[in-house]
Amino acid sequence: MIRLPQQDSSLSRIVLLFAFATPVLAQPPLQTLIVGVDHRTTTSLNGDWHYLIDQSPGRALYTPTGSINDKSYGMNNHATIVGPHNEEYDFSTAPTLKVPGDWNTQVPQLFNYEGVVWYQRDFDAQPKPGSRTFLHIGAANYRSHVWVNQKRVCDHEGGYTPFDCEVTSVVHTGSNFVVIAVDATRLVDGIPSVGIDWFNYGGLTRDVSLVTVPKAFIDDYDVHLAHGPAWQAGNTELTGYVHVLDAPAGTAVTLDIPEAGVKTTVSTDAEGRAPFTVKASKLTLWSPESPKLYKVTLASGDDKVTDDIGFRDIRVDGTRILLNGKAVFLQGANMHAEAPVRGGRVNTDQDVTTIFGYLKDLNANFVRLAHYPHDERMERIADRDGIMVWSEIPLWQHISYDKPEVYAKATYMLNEMIRRDRNKASVILWSVSNETPNNATRTTFLTNLANEARKLDPTRLITSAIIGPAAHGNQMVNDDPFTKALDVVGQNEYIGWYTGVPEDADTMHWTLPEKPIIMSEFGAEAKAGNHGATNQRWTEEQQAYVLQHQLTMLAKIPQLRGTTPWILMDFRSPTRNIPHLQDGYNRKGLISEDGKKKQAFFTMQKAYKDHTVGKPE
């Protein structure tokens, strides 16, 4: 039994009478995930939400009765509410949090809180006959349970991808209310697991909105340049599919790209999928130098969505990465989804504009969005500004690779990431992991996942960031068997910071797979404004000195096709607590968390301007 909110006629008093009783499934059936929500007309639910903290779900507010094995929240018993005092919980008297936003940076007392927070807000709705309504949540970290008007409408696990809950049957004309329990507890069998080197921001961290669509509507689509076995100059063939949810076979779908001279009508099959292949009369391919986007309109019945899509080809030729048939070198940086200056999770246009301003100033054409899918605004602006993107799911060091339910979660998150961003021209690399232990169980897990990524999207390159191996004298050998499953190999190393001294890089000899290599992490920590000798740790001078020697080493690696120093900007981490130097931040940023550029920024800026590493062919 789950007892849900009670309400009076005016919704002025809403009482918390909840109990967690149904665990979130490790691999639930795929929920509806509506692609291109940010290009639809929606009703924003951003703003002030009331909240209540539940520090001990199943204990503080609830008395256990009955007996079921509910492992969802570490409880051994079914939890229900007893006692008249519980009826006095009232959301209308509760404080508020801004949505989107994390609770950590909004409420000082919640800065280090990792648990359950209940969110609530009232909203007005005017549902139309023959339409459907979905609650769209851009991201909520980490597990979410959603009720609308006392009805549980969906659950979701995963802190960095969107999900949609259909609320058609529970929303009524006039006043409604939604309650979302968000649990930021780190789990051993979660993705990521318990040990992470970035801040675990909790809450409704991205936009929340209501989406109204016709009864049968376009929920997914893929429009891309035809990707044959070899690059063909002058190729203007577009292919893909449009999926119309709940459409009968034979439903007409129109694809219209006026600027490219494309207009065609195709029909859905029994599964609601309408594949197409069509020639554009003219086509300018997307690239960093010319990030051309086309207005693409898809229509079926009463539904229509218009998206901005670029068309390009990305592939590997030996040890080269080819963009539109031309070899490209990826000059970039890593980036966590942490807002410049104000801190907290990235969730505004200004956050993203500032970040991409830093990248452009760095002379970058590439960014690795570590270590999880970022706000969709990142890829949108990357499309617009011509910055190529590496996107990955949060499989890191401490994952339970031996458990099938964890693999199920990984495939689910991979599916959500690819489904959301497959129409973003900027995304050229799907990454399935970062710094994972080298053992057979993990290798099988990740190899299968890499193959799943190819099945979901055969038009992009698959990568992962490999850590190690340890140096043996001046020899570094990457013989990780997982690299066989990758198109492009990411290599992390910290010579001069975690191992050896900066000068060791000058004579280091690398043995790497005969594949394109991206040096996906390297660098050193420095507190902005801390100055000293080049051999003095934590100084800006030493950080720049480490990068200078890295550049000397990197120029000697023949397969090198990209560099992303760790990291563009200092970011919060619970493991970085050296007083006066870290103070809760990983200080490897080229820029401080408050926007101050360190000497290391200018070192990389000049190297990218001069093409010190990876000169264009």
Mean pLDDT, range 567-595, rounded to an integer = 95
- pLDDT tens-digit profile of 66-119? 222 232 322 222 223 334 555 666 788 899 999 999 999 999 999 999 999 999
What mean pLDDT value characterizes the chain?
89
Q: Give me the pLDDT at residue 195, please.
A: 84
Judging by DSSP bridges, how do beta strands 488-492 and 509-511 pair with one another?
Answer: unpaired
Q: Are residues 401 and 513 in the same domain?
A: yes
Mean pLDDT, range 344-357, rounded to an integer = 96
Q: Are residues 399 and 441 in the same domain?
A: yes
User: Distance (Å, rounded) from C-alpha 212 to C-alpha 128?
Assistant: 9
Query: The domain that contains 252 carries what CATH number?
Result: 2.60.40
Q: Are residues 210 and 239 in the same domain?
A: no
Q: How many Å separate Cα 398 from the centre of its chain?
A: 19
> By three-state DSSP, how is residue 602 classified?
helix
Q: Are residues 191 and 340 in the same domain?
A: no
pLDDT band per the 50, 70, 90 thresholds, residue 256: very high
Query: The domain that contains 69 carries what CATH number?
Result: 2.60.120.260
For residue 21, pLDDT beyond 50: no
Q: Is residue 226 part of a domain?
A: no
Structural domain count of the chain: 3
Domain endpoint, select from 181, 214, 247: 214
The burial class, CB within 10 Å (0-12 / 13-18 / 19+), for 26 is middle
Give the burial string for 197-231 (b: 16+ CB within 10 Å, else e): bbbbbbbbbbbbbbbbbbebbbbbbbbbbbbeeeb
Domain endpoint, select from 162, 179, 214: 214
Q: Give me the pLDDT at residue 92, please.
A: 86
Q: Is residue 616 part of a domain?
A: no
Q: Give me the pLDDT at residue 6, please.
A: 40
Q: Give me the pLDDT at residue 397, please.
A: 85
- pLDDT tens-digit profile of 120-177? 999 999 999 999 999 999 999 999 999 999 899 999 999 999 999 999 999 999 999 9
pLDDT band per the 50, 70, 90 thresholds, residue 32: confident
Q: Is residue 97 part of a domain?
A: yes
- Give the CA-trace dihedral at 185, 190, 195, 201, to 10 degrees: -40
User: Distance (Å, rounded) from C-alpha 601 to C-alpha 436?
Assistant: 28
Q: Are residues 165 and 76 in the same domain?
A: yes
C-alpha angle with apex 330: 326 to 334, nearest 5 degrees? 155
Looking at the chain, how many residues does it have? 617
Q: Are residues 136 and 208 in the same domain?
A: yes
3-state secondary structure 239-261: EEEEEEECCCCCCEEEEEEHHHC
**Between residues 429 and 398, the one the model is more confident about:** 429
- pLDDT tens-digit profile of 496-529? 999 999 999 999 999 999 999 999 999 999 999 9
Q: Are residues 433 and 391 in the same domain?
A: yes
pLDDT band per the 50, 70, 90 thresholds, residue 616: low
Q: Are residues 243 and 368 in the same domain?
A: no
Mean pLDDT, range 269-276, rounded to an integer = 97
Q: Is residue 265 part of a domain?
A: yes
In the chain, the percentage of residues whose pLDDT exceeds 70 is 89
Mean pLDDT, range 453-479, rounded to an integer = 90
Q: Are residues 39 and 125 in the same domain?
A: yes
pLDDT band per the 50, 70, 90 thresholds, residue 31: low
Q: Are residues 377 and 238 in the same domain?
A: no
Query: The domain that contains 580 carries what CATH number?
Result: 3.20.20.80
For residue 19, pLDDT beyond 90: no
Identify the residue whose tokens are 């499953």. Answer: 485
Name the phi and psi angles at 570, rounded to 5: -55, 145
- Give the CA-trace dihedral at 255, 257, 263, 269, to 10 degrees: -20
Domain endpoint, select from 253, 278, 308: 308
Q: Give the closest residue to 403 by CA, choosing from 431, 435, 366, 444.
A: 444
- pLDDT tens-digit profile of 203-247? 999 999 999 999 999 999 999 999 999 999 999 999 999 999 999
Q: Which domain holds residue 394?
A: 316-610
One-letter identity of residue 321: I
Q: Are residues 204 and 136 in the same domain?
A: yes
**Between residues 23 and 318, the one the model is more confident about:** 318
**Between residues 16 and 474, the one the model is more confident about:** 474
Q: Is residue 113 part of a domain?
A: yes
Q: Give me the pLDDT at residue 85, please.
A: 53
Q: Are residues 466 and 603 in the same domain?
A: yes
CB 236 within 8 A of CB 285: no
CB proximity list for 8: less than 8 A, separation 6 or greater: none
**Between residues 193 and 533, the one the model is more confident about:** 533
Mean pLDDT, range 187-213, rounded to an integer = 94
Q: Is residue 222 part of a domain?
A: no
**Between residues 498 and 11, the one the model is more confident about:** 498
Q: Is residue 189 part of a domain?
A: yes
Q: Is residue 497 part of a domain?
A: yes
For residue 199, pLDDT beyond 90: yes
pTM: 0.91
